[in-house]
Amino acid sequence: MNKPKIVILGAGYGGMMATVRLTKELSADEADITLVNKHNYHYQTTWLHEAAAGTIHHDRTRMLIKNVINTNRVHFVQDTVRSIDHKNNKVILKNGEIDYDYLVIALGFESNTFGIKGLDEHAFAIRSVNTARKIREHIEYRFASYNSDPDAKDSDLTIVVGGAGLSGVEFLGELVDRIPELCREYDVDPKKVRIVDVEGMPFVLPPFDRTLAEYAQKYLESKGVEFKLNTFIKEATPEGVKVQLKGSEELEEIKAGTVVWTGGVKASHIPEDSGFETNRGKIQVTPDLRSPEDDHVFAIGDVAVVFPPDAERPYPPTAQIAIQEAENLAKNFKHILHGEPTEPFVYKPKGTVASLGEKEAIGVVFDHKLTGKPAAAMKKVIDDRYLLMLGGVGLVLKKGKLKFL
């Protein structure tokens, strides 16, 4: 093989970090690197709940890819991946095709609506800069219309959030910061606004430490959020949602002007639709993060699934694991190109911190529980650490959060 061509699909956490690390691990003579992404910008999904509520501008969550990667080393292609023809080492794009010697699939996640009636049509999902922007504008439009549209109803000011996992709870935390501002701006009586979270499990944040989850629930309730636990969203309609309490036959309607679904995610449909063998839509990768069917194809981030040793449940899909996978992948490319054995990927979880708006948070970091301001500060440290790893001090100064403390 001449100089091998490495093609990376997706410029999220996994794809961006893999690209940046590959340019450091490999010299220009060792490989050609191409990065393909739908947009010319990289966005931080982990900040999108803030952009969706309108507590930060969406431009703070994104950065131009050309400002972060070394464009002398990386060929950037702005295009949408349609499918992967891995029998012929080819990626089919909306506007053409690309050949590869090695492929890295890092196409991330899609919202999972589990076939629930009406959700695709009548609910929003926090998935990208564009979907976050739509949610912010929709909520603001509801407030702007309330005093100007003769047909406006009180229920137009109700926001239903579907699911109280980490995304749902973080979004609720931003909403309780944002709604008082919107009320002031549009002369709306705060008592008219309802924020209702519907969660199928008997408690919020099902996989989280219980005392921290209760802290989050109590904090959000103190700010006016109503939780409907043990309750499932069964349908979304133009008027709101229909929900069902566990064990009940009855459906209850909650009228709402805005429904935001945070009830789950799944992998990008591209690997499965391209014929890769998958486990619930994800490529169950080998210890060095390759497809078991094709050792020239790697998968990282939310399109890959990795199991802890001897465990039945895989690691959850997070930015944290995507970043660590990207680092392992870049090192392994050096080994592969030098004919050396690869290093198996070993995940080192550092903990989880969930924001509850600007000044509150909960988290477990290296087995230490945090709440309140220290947790909120830790969340900003985590956000800035990623920027530091990706683009150095310059990127932290440009986009970081700690300077806003």
Instruction: Identify the residue whose tokens are 């959700």.
Output: 119
Largest CA distance in the chain: 72
254 binds ligand NAD (CB under 6 A): no
φ and ψ at residue 136, rounded to 5 degrees: -60, -45
Q: Please identify, among the stretches 24-32, 196-204, 328-336, 390-398, the one whose residues bind ligand NAD according to the rule CB under 6 A.
A: 196-204
C-alpha 363/C-alpha 173 separation (Å) is 14
HSE-up (13 A, CA, CB side) for residue 5: 12
What does each C-alpha distance from 380 to 14, 355, 359, 375, 399 come to in angstroms? 20, 9, 10, 9, 11
Instruction: Name the closest residue to ligand NAD (Cβ).
Output: 165
Min CB(331)–ligand FAD separation in Å: 18
* CA terminus-to-terminus distance, the chain: 52
391 binds ligand NAD (CB under 6 A): no
38 binds ligand FAD (CB under 6 A): yes
249 in catalytic set? no
The nearer residue to ligand FAD, 108 or 281, going by C-beta atoms, is: 108
105-134 residues in contact with ligand NAD (CB under 6 A) are: 116
Instruction: Identify the residue whose tokens are 């392992």.
Output: 328
The interface partner of residue 173, options being ligand NAD, ligand FAD, none and the CB cut-off 5 to 8 Å by kind, is: none
The interface partner of residue 206, options being ligand NAD, ligand FAD, none and the CB cut-off 5 to 8 Å by kind, is: ligand NAD
54 binds ligand FAD (CB under 6 A): no
Amino acid at 28: A
CA 366 to centroid of chain Cα atoms: 22
Nearest Cα residue to 213 out of 225, 221, 205, 202:
205
Catalytic residue among 97, 137, 140, 170: 170
What kind and span of H or E run contains 252?
strand 252-255
Query: Quick check: helix, strand or coil at residue 123?
Result: coil
Near ligand FAD by CB under 6 A: residue from 319, 329, 330, 362: 319
Min CB(2)–ligand FAD separation in Å: 27
Instruction: Identify the residue whose tokens are 């509801």.
Output: 142
Min CB(218)–ligand FAD separation in Å: 21
320 binds ligand FAD (CB under 6 A): yes
109 binds ligand FAD (CB under 6 A): yes
5-24 residues in contact with ligand FAD (CB under 6 A) are: 10-15
Residue pair 203/84 in contact (Cβ under 8 Å)? The answer is no
Query: Quick check: helix, strand or coil at residue 141?
Result: helix
Question: Where do contacts with ligand FAD occur on this chain (CB under 6 A)?
Answer: 10-15, 36-39, 45-46, 48-49, 80-81, 106-109, 126, 167, 170, 268, 270, 301-302, 317-320, 322
Question: Where do contacts with ligand NAD occur on this chain (CB under 6 A)?
Answer: 116, 162-168, 170, 198-201, 206, 232-233, 262-265, 316-318, 352-354
Residues carrying an active site annotation: 170
